[in-house]
Structure 1
Amino acid sequence: MIFNPFLKKFKIFVLFIIAILIRVGLFYYIGETLLNSVEISGPTTSFLRLKEAITYKQFGLSPYYGDSIHENPLLIFIAELLKEYNFGLFLLYLLSDIVTSLFLYRSAALFFKSSRLLESFYYESIQEDYKHILAKLSSPSKASRAWLSERLELYALIQVSSSTDVLSFVLFCYLFNPYIILSTVARSSVVFINTSLMMAFYFALAGEFLFTTLSVALATWFNLYSIILLVPATLLLLSPKIHQNTEPPFKFLSNLPNFLLVGAFFFLWICLLTYVSFVLSGSWDFIEETFAFPLTIPDLTPNIGLFWYMFSEIFEQFRAYFIWAVHILFWTFIIPLTIKYRDNPSFLFLMFIGLLNTCKIYPTLGDLGFFLSLLSLWRHLFLYTKSLFLVGSIYLHSSVLLPTTWYMWIHRCSGNANFYYAQTLLISAATLILMWDLTIAYSRRKFDLEKGMFVRNSNLKIERVM
């Protein structure tokens, strides 16, 4: 028993060592090959374009002189310092990846602790129902006892989720996620976006006001659409105050000053990052090529998103209309989701990550990998879901056929863009199906928690809820 804590920490240490060795090994074997993969690196995250920006700087030109560089000036500045060390640049991405996993591990501990406290009352009442029904049954059959045990397991998952074994599972899901590994090996800057998002989630759970707003500002600096995560992050910051009462209804007007304060600090961080970027780049050209770039969608390089094919096919006179339609479609989801899940901002954060992955103009597999890794925190919903096998099969199918159809289209000229785009549609459809399934699972579990596994009728008999 004395050695149990040591063995658990050693197991986590071994997970990190194996994950690092896999990434380093793949970097030496296929690192350069993956640089050209459009599934892993997009116009805003490509390492090749980052190297091009460094070349511009060496010749005394602005990286934003043309229309191919869309990295932010801070990343270009750091990469320029390490330009002589190819492995040193890779270590920068690897370090960011490891930092993300550490924040995920700490976030899991805080998340399970807060969830356990919030659901402790429901869990105790369900245990009482479970014992009561067994006492009433004179000779419970194996089937009825098994059913009761299975139902109770749905709630017990949260209660045991603070153990090191469960936290190790969450860590494993990130460190050995193939999409995350390939993104790190390909040195896609989505790695830094994921780090910023994970930091925002952790600091919001911890109630760290300044660091939360800074993390969301950094994520927004890398990807403009990440600004939507300011909503669940703010709700998470306010949630400790909200849940102090027995009945914690969220009132927007009473918390309006807090929202305005968070928004003000977020705006200050954005202004500071803008000024730093101006100092590093020497001009304001970076704003058009970083912030405004995804708004106008000028680059139609194929990716795993929904919109590149559509904009390559439409007539130019309709382009402005569809640009507005695409962006409005994205923002229409924000208010309904916020109203629905305002009492559970952690789940709202997950939904927004999935929304970013689906509606992002230039998504990569790294975005999808981050969403799936974060999903491991809600493993207690899996017993309620219906489509995990279908979604997993689609992801596996598309992961194989995406590079295959790309090779047929570009290198062999035996296919066309329709083959490749069909796989991107499948990935987006699978993500939407998964999000829909999770919302249903969340609602069903919440109903069971609030109403109990059993309903008492007028004769005070306990009836089973199917």
Structure 2
Amino acid sequence: MKMSTLSSKHAKKKENTYFLQSCSKVVLLLCLAAFLRYLVMSSKYQTIIANHFEISTPICSWKRVQEGLFLLSRNIDPYDGDLLHETPTALIFYKIMSQNVFRDVSLMFIFFDIGTALLLYAATRHYAKQFHQEHRDRTKYPKDVHEYLPSEGYYEKVPLYVLVAFLFNPYTFLGCVGYSTAGIHNFFLALFVFGMVYGSPIVSSLALAICSSVSFYPLILLSPLYIYYSQVYKSKTKALLVVLYFLTYVYLITFYNNSLSKSFKFINNVYGSIWTVPDLQPNIGLFWYFFTEVFDHFRELFIHSFQINATILYLVPLSIKFSNRPFILTIALLFLITIFKSYPCLSDLGFVLSFLPNFLHLYAFCQQGVIVGVILFMTSCLAPTLWHLWIYSASANANFYFGVTLAYAIAQIFLVTDILFAQTKWEFTLKHGREAKIDGEDADLSLE
């Protein structure tokens, strides 16, 4: 009994020591990331980065927010034209943050980036611990798959990897330096994931309602939210209460938006512009080139087709397939939003890439990692080069640039399909072992 007590104290002391070491690493990484961001923001390169359309789209441009705030200060309705695509609540939020809380705008963007990193770290730490505990009993799995199970230090290392993947990801870094409001939107997406993983229905539903009020794409995340709480409560009826919380928050936010705007004109500027894509300024998405070329009488058909593809087309099959893995379903849906939304930016991709360390146990089953990495690297380098050749040197045309954006989207599609199929193979291997046989012959799981 005494030996057991000593062992327990030793384990607790070891855990506390590691926790302190982990906290010191987190603080060091956060300070370094904040310093690097502020250093570049204070340089002449900030304006160059902020003016790049890969960073600032019509939906996430800080310059447009500033113009909207100026019009608001002159008692001019910022929604009279086609300038502003932020909701009235978001506009007031930015006004308070930039004029009352943060006198230096760069500090505001750094604050939300650091906040996003901390939320992702905390959410991943909790999820990785649950994931490790789920597979701690190795005796229930075939012996030849033990090497694929998470190691003892899995839940301790993964959160730090996620933190580094977000803070020093060039996509999130450039988005923060370029004052892209997508970084602030990502803060609330991270808050949604954090609230969901920790089982807080109020936090997760409120964060999702805020995200959905800015853009309708996050509405599809209601599916993993419902699935997660139906597992937590072991009751689909109780999980519906979380959906009711979400709908209540959406109603309150819409009511507040309407009271601020004194009309529903903002709906067309915010949601209408996202759905109908009136601004065909080139970006890293798939919409602009197609709708520049398409005949006007086909435009409505293809607009609805594209938007259905970006929202509900994959929702039902993925929700059925990963009904027991709501966290993975969430990441998959975030990837699909990033790929197929009408006005994507680099911050969107940087945010979802930060979740990849959660899938380190799937590395042995992935096949497209090198290809995806090379394509993303090449397209990231070629995009500004071909833009310069097209716009400034006039030695290229829109086809050159769209070819890069197409390859950029294909790389993301390869990545998400590789992860989802690797998850399927991993679950199959844990159940049947590495040497699965059908009719006495070796079976091979392949994607048809």
- What is the DSSP-based 3-state SS (H/G/I as helix, E as strand, rest coil) of the residue aligned with 1:162? helix
1:303 and 2:283 are equivalent in the alignment? yes
- Using the TM superposition, give the Cα deviation of residue 196 of structure 1 relative to its aligned residue in structure 2, in angstroms: 1.3
TM-score where L is the length of structure 1: 0.86
Q: C-alpha distance in 1, partners of 2:434/2:355?
A: 28
Which of residues 331, 343, 350 is equivalent to 2:331?
A: 350
Matched residue, 1:154: 148
Quote the sequence identity (%). Answer: 30
- Using the TM superposition, give the Cα deviation of residue 456 of structure 1 relative to its aligned residue in structure 2, in angstroms: 9.4
Which of residues 36, 39, 47 is equivalent to 1:25?
A: 39
Shift in CA distance, 322/464, structure 1 to aligned 2, threshold 3 Å: closer
- Using the TM superposition, give the Cα deviation of residue 274 of structure 1 relative to its aligned residue in structure 2, in angstroms: 1.3
Q: C-alpha distance in 2, partners of 1:465/1:315?
A: 47
- Using the TM superposition, give the Cα deviation of residue 458 of structure 1 relative to its aligned residue in structure 2, in angstroms: 12
Matched residue, 2:134: 118
Q: C-alpha distance in 2, partners of 1:393/1:455?
A: 33
- Using the TM superposition, give the Cα deviation of residue 3 of structure 1 relative to its aligned residue in structure 2, in angstroms: 5.7
Q: C-alpha distance in 2, partners of 1:209/1:46?
A: 31
* Aligned residues of 1:296 and 1:323 also touching (Cα < 8 A): yes
Matched residue, 2:113: 97
Which of residues 16, 39, 49 is equivalent to 2:54?
A: 39
- Using the TM superposition, give the Cα deviation of residue 431 of structure 1 relative to its aligned residue in structure 2, in angstroms: 0.5
Shift in CA distance, 434/465, structure 1 to aligned 2, threshold 3 Å: closer
* Aligned residues of 2:102 and 2:108 also touching (Cα < 8 A): no
Matched residue, 1:211: 203
Q: C-alpha distance in 2, partners of 1:314/1:326?
A: 13
* Aligned residues of 2:226 and 2:240 also touching (Cα < 8 A): no
- Using the TM superposition, give the Cα deviation of residue 390 of structure 1 relative to its aligned residue in structure 2, in angstroms: 0.5
- The letter for the 2-side match of 1:24 is Y
Matched residue, 2:63: 48
- Using the TM superposition, give the Cα deviation of residue 237 of structure 1 relative to its aligned residue in structure 2, in angstroms: 2.0
Shift in CA distance, 385/334, structure 1 to aligned 2, threshold 3 Å: same
- Using the TM superposition, give the Cα deviation of residue 31 of structure 1 relative to its aligned residue in structure 2, in angstroms: 1.7
1:435 and 2:416 are equivalent in the alignment? yes
Which of residues 70, 74, 79 is equivalent to 2:85?
A: 70
Q: C-alpha distance in 1, partners of 2:102/2:46?
A: 11
* Aligned residues of 1:201 and 1:233 also touching (Cα < 8 A): no
- Using the TM superposition, give the Cα deviation of residue 33 of structure 1 relative to its aligned residue in structure 2, in angstroms: 1.6
Alignment of 1:316-465 (within 5 A): 316-330=296-310, 331-453=312-434
* Aligned residues of 2:54 and 2:283 also touching (Cα < 8 A): yes
1:13 and 2:27 are equivalent in the alignment? yes
- What is the DSSP-based 3-state SS (H/G/I as helix, E as strand, rest coil) of the residue aligned with 1:34? helix
Between the two proteins, the alignment pairs up a number of residues equal to: 427
- The letter for the 2-side match of 1:41 is S
Q: C-alpha distance in 2, partners of 1:275/1:231?
A: 24
Matched residue, 2:124: 108
- The letter for the 2-side match of 1:279 is S
Q: C-alpha distance in 2, partners of 1:186/1:86?
A: 17
- Using the TM superposition, give the Cα deviation of residue 457 of structure 1 relative to its aligned residue in structure 2, in angstroms: 11
Q: C-alpha distance in 1, partners of 2:422/2:387?
A: 36
CA RMSD in angstroms comes to 2.4
- 1:300-336 alpha-carbon deviations (Å, 9 max, x no partner): 1111111110001111111111112112223211111
* Aligned residues of 2:59 and 2:85 also touching (Cα < 8 A): yes
- The letter for the 1-side match of 2:20 is F
Identify the range of structure 1 (403-412 vs 364-373) with the bigger mean alpha-carbon deviation.
Answer: 403-412
* Aligned residues of 2:229 and 2:239 also touching (Cα < 8 A): no
Q: C-alpha distance in 2, partners of 1:5/1:84?
A: 36
Shift in CA distance, 413/458, structure 1 to aligned 2, threshold 3 Å: closer
Gaps of 5+ in 2: 1-13
Gaps of 5+ in 1: 131-147, 243-253
Which of residues 213, 217, 239 is equivalent to 1:225?
A: 217
Shift in CA distance, 95/464, structure 1 to aligned 2, threshold 3 Å: same
- 1:132-172 alpha-carbon deviations (Å, 9 max, x no partner): xxxxxxxxxxxxxxxx6xx5332134x43222x33211211
Q: C-alpha distance in 2, partners of 1:435/1:456?
A: 28
Q: C-alpha distance in 2, partners of 1:83/1:422?
A: 42
